Structure formats: C-alpha cells, structure tokens
Structure 1
Amino acid sequence: MTESSVRQGAEIPAYISLVSGAFSGVIARLFVAPVDVIKIRMQLQSNARLYGTITSTISTIWKNEGFTAFWKGNVSAEIMYLIYGSAQFTSYSFLNTHLSRFEKKHSMNIPTAIHSLTIGAIAGCAATCSSYPFDLLRTRLISNEKPRFVSLYREIKDILVASGCRGFFGGGFLSVLSVALTTGFSFAGYNVLKGATFGTIFEPTSGLIAGALSKFLVYPLDLLKRRRQITTSCTVSQAAVGIFQKEGLRGFYHGLIPSIVKSAPTTMLSLYFYELASGQLLRMEESKRLNA
C-alpha cells in the first residue's frame, strides 16, 4: 500500500489537491444521492407516520413523488460537493504542509490526532463557507414534497426576493460549526485508524468508521442546521426548544441512521478517491520530472 496523501507531514501540490478533491466530491455524491434525500426528509419532517422510519420515508416519497424524487436537488448538490471537496482538500493539504514544517522547525511533537483534528476543522470551515449556498439550495429542493421538481433557477429567485443575498446563508453558523467538528473528527479518526491498520485487511475500513463516528458525535447540530435552512423565523435556541417540546430528545436524532448510512460511505469514498486521484497525479508529476 502507498502512503496516505492526508497523513501528517504529506506535501501535496495545490493543483493536485484541488483537482483530486473536486473529483472525489463529485464521485462520492453520485453514490449517496438517494440516501441524502431520505436523511434530509427525516430531519425536516416531524410526522412519524410518514417519515418516522427509513422504510416509511422511502414508501412515502416513492408513492407520492415517484422514483426520480430520490435525486431531487442533485444538480445543486453536485456543485456543492465539487466546490466542497476541492476547497476541503486544498485547505487541508496547505495547512498540513505548513503546520508540519512549523512543527519540524521548532522540534514540536504534536500527536497525529490533534494535528489532523485542528487542520481538518479549519479545512471544514473553509469548504463550508465556499459551498454553503448550494447546500441550502439542495435542502430546499429536497424538502419539496410535490411530484413536480422545483427548478434551481426559481428557488434562487424566490430566496433573493424574500431575503436577499443573506437568504443563502440561513443556518450558516450552525453549518460551519457542525461541519468543522465533523471534518476535524473525520480526518483525525481516519489518520489514527489508518496508521493503526496500515497494511492489514482492516485498513479500507478506516474512512468508513471515521465517518460514522464523526457524524454521530455532531448529529444534533446538523439537524438544527437543516431546520434553520428551511425557516429563519426563529433563533437557534428557539428552534432547539421547539424540537425538545414537540418531539423530545429523540427529535434531535431524526434521520440519524440514514445520515450515518450516508455519511460513513461518503467519507470513505471521498478519502479513497482523493487518495486514488492524488496518488495518480503525483506519479504522473514524478514521471514528467524524471523524463525532463
């Protein structure tokens, strides 16, 4: 097995991180689109009869909206994943390189988990800020329960008329916070697990486990973010109190299972395809250098 492109101290050129991150984001999204729709519907709806379980949610969507409804919001989601993936991995690679050099220069020995958690969280912030409007559009398009799709152009126009440019950042603070924590935990968990299982049959599961654990730890923030993306008529604390009063503690975990089912393989696929693409581009770069 080749060394990881996200390991502590790895130095990856910016253009390779950019291209590889965009590629990994787009490919990962193709695999998880239907699960994403199920998860977001369960997060947004409090009707337990229709959206209380995965099977009832699938049945409701299929019966009322048709099979293609499982790809609602996919255009905005693909754009979001492309921007998010490129920004996340480019930021992570840049920070990884310079922080590692700083540690080496000053003879610092920062544990891998802390190193990855810190730069992963910052990279998550940068990626979220870059791609957030498309995340919001994805959520609003998926929340549409009518059989007919709402056009991306119309949704953008409606937001601009109702709220102006600020409307594209509803729930933005929660998104930055939840994604920063999720990304930080994902990179930290991945690097620790990959280091512990390197060269064994368990190495491929590193991304899967890291993705599942990070999503579980941060899930209530993700749910609050989704609710705030649909309506900005109340504060975050009011939304949290409302969920607790109407739905109890379980209300903060609506859609947890499909979220983990989506998040775990998304993290695994994203990291896998990033390492695959970056490894191939690095080999091509090395080949050009040797043949020059």
Structure 2
Amino acid sequence: MSNSHLHQGVEVPAWISVIGGSVSGLVSRFVIAPADTVKIRQQLNGNQDKYRGVSRTIRTILHNEGIRAFWKGNLPAEIMYLLYGATQFATYSSLNNMLTQTEQTLNIKVPSSVHALALGSLSGSVSIAISYPFDVLRTRLAANETRQFRSFVKETSEMYYKDGVRSFFRGIQLSITSVAISMGLSFGSYSYFRDLTANTPFESTSGLLAGILSKTLVYPLDLVRRRKHMTYRGSFAHAILQIIAKEGVRGAYHGLTPALIKSAPTTAISFWCYEWTVDWLLSAQDRFN
C-alpha cells in the first residue's frame, strides 16, 4: 500500500500537520467557492423558481450580480477554511498517535477505517467549534443577492449590535453534530477506500468517493444548519418539519447537487493537498537535518 500520513499509527510533527492543514483548507476553499455560493443560495431560497436547478441558479446569479458574486463571503470563508484545516489535521495527527499507543497498550485490534472514523469525528468537532463564527459570516455574505458586496467588517458589527456574541454561534450544536458525523464518515471512508484500492489506478479516487458518501448522508443536517444561520430558531426536528411542510420532502435536499459538486472535489483536494504538503515538508526537513 502507498504511504498515507493519515493512516493508523503514522506520526507527523505537529507543526507540519498545521501547515499541511492550512494549505489544504486555503486551496480547497478557493477552488470550490462558486459551487458553495450556488449551494447556499439553493439551501436558503430553494422554493423560489429562480433558484431551482444548478444551471438556473448560476444564470440568476450571473445576470443579477455578475461573475464576482460567486466569491461573495470568500474572505471569512478563507479564514474559516484555514483555521478549520489547520486545527482538523493537527488534532487528527495528535490523536492518531495517542489512540494508537492506547490500542497497543491494551492490545486492541481496531480496523483502520474505524480508527479513522473516530478520529475524524473528534477532530471535526474541535475544528468547527474554533472556526464557526466565520462559517456564519460566510453564509450571510454569500446570501446577499445584490450586486454590491457587503463589507465583512460591517456585517460583523451589525450582527454583534443586533444579537451580541451569540449571533456568531447560532446553530453551533447542530453544526458540531453534522460535522462530527460528516468528518467521521469522510476520514473513515477515505481510509477504507485507500485500503481497498491500494496500489491500483483507483487509489486516487478515495477522497472523491469519501466526499460523495459523507455529504449525501448528512445533507439535511447541513441544510438546516444554513437556515439557522439566517432566520430559523428551535430544534433540528422543528426546523426540518417546517421545511418539509412548506417545501415538501425534496426541500430537505435543496442544493444537494451543487453540494456534491462542491463536497466531493473539496474532500479529494483537501486530502491530496495535505498529503502532498506533508510529504514535501518531511522531505525538506530530512534535507536540512
């Protein structure tokens, strides 16, 4: 099997994990920003005709707001992805060492995919808690349907003035649940698919398959999370029942297509960038030692 720096028991220095995660987050965010904007518009306005279907949503945004609109909210999103990627992979790497040592001490045989699933859930939860305010800001800025870009600073000030610090953490409980499940599935399935396709031409598709699987299974949670960033209050059950009552069962999956277009490549790019950056940094470290 080809080497993976996320594999069970592999040790990566903390500073290298932080840099690798930061590069992973920044690159993947910039590439998928347009698909993310389309997804958010459909999640928030999926019952409007102008946002039905990916192609119609793209045409609506282009016609009304111009091509730059696909990068609305990109500043807080880049900050969020940088913090998220750095925290996620650094936490994963640290916990990987700790959990592996515990398994060896207790003489417990844990499948690598189950090991990765547990670590992915934990590292995802820590990462979303740290980066969450920027996720809320990204959603609100991307929801703006005018040609004028809203100011990052002005939006932050208005949110704080209107509802205080809690406005930056609205829906965080649901987000932690959603991300814990999603990241657990992403890391677990990535490990499983890499083991399954090791040393074959299909090994490079592991991240893509992991992204499709994890996003499809947790999508309704993600949709409600976005709605709660804007107007929705109450529990997940109450919110999802409201959506179904107004928009039907399909309402819980508004924006799934652009979400998959975004999520599958994002997961693939994220894992690939991390693995490549860590490889490069470890090689550079060896050359200078």
Is residue 2:194 matched to residue 1:194? yes
Does the CA-based 8 Å contact 1:170-1:232 persist in structure 2?
A: no
- Partner deviation per Cα, 1:207-245 (whole Å, 9 max, x = no partner): 000011000000000000000001154443332121010
Question: Aligned equivalents of 2:227 and 2:146: distance in 1?
Answer: 19
Match for residue 276 of structure 2?
A: 276
Question: Aligned equivalents of 1:125 and 1:264: distance in 2?
Answer: 20
Write out aligned runs for 1:248-267 (5 A): 248-267=248-267
For 2:123, the aligned partner's letter is A
Match for residue 217 of structure 1?
A: 217
Q: CA deviation at 1:195?
A: 1.1
Match for residue 286 of structure 1?
A: 286
- Partner deviation per Cα, 1:143-198 (whole Å, 9 max, x = no partner): 11111110001100111011101110011111111111111100000011111111
Does the CA-based 8 Å contact 1:136-1:229 persist in structure 2?
A: yes
Question: Aligned equivalents of 1:88 and 1:59: distance in 2?
Answer: 35
Is residue 2:167 matched to residue 1:167? yes
Does the CA-based 8 Å contact 1:87-1:123 persist in structure 2?
A: yes
Does the CA-based 8 Å contact 2:38-2:70 persist in structure 1?
A: yes
Question: Aligned equivalents of 1:32 and 1:122: distance in 2?
Answer: 25
Is residue 2:15 matched to residue 1:15? yes
Aligned identity (percent) is 46
Moved more, 275-284 or 119-128: 275-284
| Change over 3 Å in CA distance of 1:234–1:107 after alignment to 2 | closer
* Paired residue secondary structure (1:202): helix
Write out aligned runs for 1:174-193 (5 A): 174-193=174-193
Q: CA deviation at 1:246?
A: 0.6
Does the CA-based 8 Å contact 2:46-2:255 persist in structure 1?
A: no
For 2:88, the aligned partner's letter is Q
Is residue 2:228 matched to residue 1:228? yes
Question: Aligned equivalents of 1:245 and 1:191: distance in 2?
Answer: 39
Residue ranges of structure 1 left out of the alignment (5+ in a row): none
Give me the TM-score of the superposition, normalised by structure 1: 0.97
Is residue 2:41 matched to residue 1:41? yes
Moved more, 235-244 or 133-142: 235-244
- Partner deviation per Cα, 1:63-91 (whole Å, 9 max, x = no partner): 11111101100011100000000000001
Question: Aligned equivalents of 1:46 and 1:83: distance in 2?
Answer: 30
For 2:168, the aligned partner's letter is F
Give me the TM-score of the superposition, normalised by structure 2: 0.97
Does the CA-based 8 Å contact 2:47-2:251 persist in structure 1?
A: no
Does the CA-based 8 Å contact 2:73-2:142 persist in structure 1?
A: yes
- Partner deviation per Cα, 1:116-164 (whole Å, 9 max, x = no partner): 1111000000110010000000000011111111000110011101110
Q: How many residues align?
A: 289
Does the CA-based 8 Å contact 1:228-1:236 persist in structure 2?
A: no
Match for residue 59 of structure 1?
A: 59
Q: CA deviation at 1:288?
A: 2.9
Residue ranges of structure 2 left out of the alignment (5+ in a row): none
Match for residue 242 of structure 1?
A: 242
